[in-house]
């Protein structure tokens, strides 16, 4: 990343901050965010884990591996416990909203699933 960033008109401090954001970015926490930008990027990554599209992925990949409905739900709900790990107030607020919606979605899905059997 540094090699690419050197091609642009960024100051050394800006490059340092961008590299820090890249370092702590990703699904798995690789370090503590030390800037507001890095905190926001980490929160965005964590919010992505809570989306309904991600729920669909849990079902898809869990189903491919032969996991039970309940096991898939337990795995997803484990992500709910991580909502307290958000760096920002807005991140925690959005995470709560996403989890509330996702848990309602799961409840509706489960009711339909049981009725279909």
**Is the pLDDT confidence value at 115 over 70?**
no
Q: What would the pLDDT profile of 10-45 be if each residue is shown by its tens digit?
A: 999 999 999 999 888 875 556 788 999 999 998 888
What is the C-alpha to C-alpha distance for residues 32 and 38, in angstroms, rounded to an integer? 9
Q: What secondary structure does DSSP assign to 68-95, as a single string?
A: -HHHHHHHHHHHHHGGGG-SSHHHHHHH
This prediction's pTM: 0.73
Q: pLDDT at position 52, please? A: 80
> By the 8 A CB rule, do 33 and 87 touch?
yes
> By the 8 A CB rule, do 37 and 87 touch?
no
51 Cβ neighbours under 8 A, 6+ residues apart: 98, 102
Q: What would the pLDDT profile of 66-87 be if each residue is shown by its tens digit?
A: 998 888 888 887 766 666 678 8
């Amino acid at each position: 990343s540094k090699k690419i960033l050197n091609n642009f008109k960024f100051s050394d401090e800006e490059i340092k901050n961008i590299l820090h954001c890249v370092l702590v970015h990703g699904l798995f926490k690789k370090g503590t965010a030390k800037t507001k930008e890095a905190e926001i990027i980490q929160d965005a990554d964590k919010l992505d884990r809570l989306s309904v599209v991600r729920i669909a992925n849990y079902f898809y990949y869990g189903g491919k591996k032969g996991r039970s409905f309940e096991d898939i739900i337990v795995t997803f709900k484990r992500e709910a416990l991580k909502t307290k790990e958000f760096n920002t107030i807005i991140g925690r607020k959005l995470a709560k909203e996403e989890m509330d919606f996702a848990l309602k979605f799961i409840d509706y899905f489960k009711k339909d699933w049981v009725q279909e059997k």
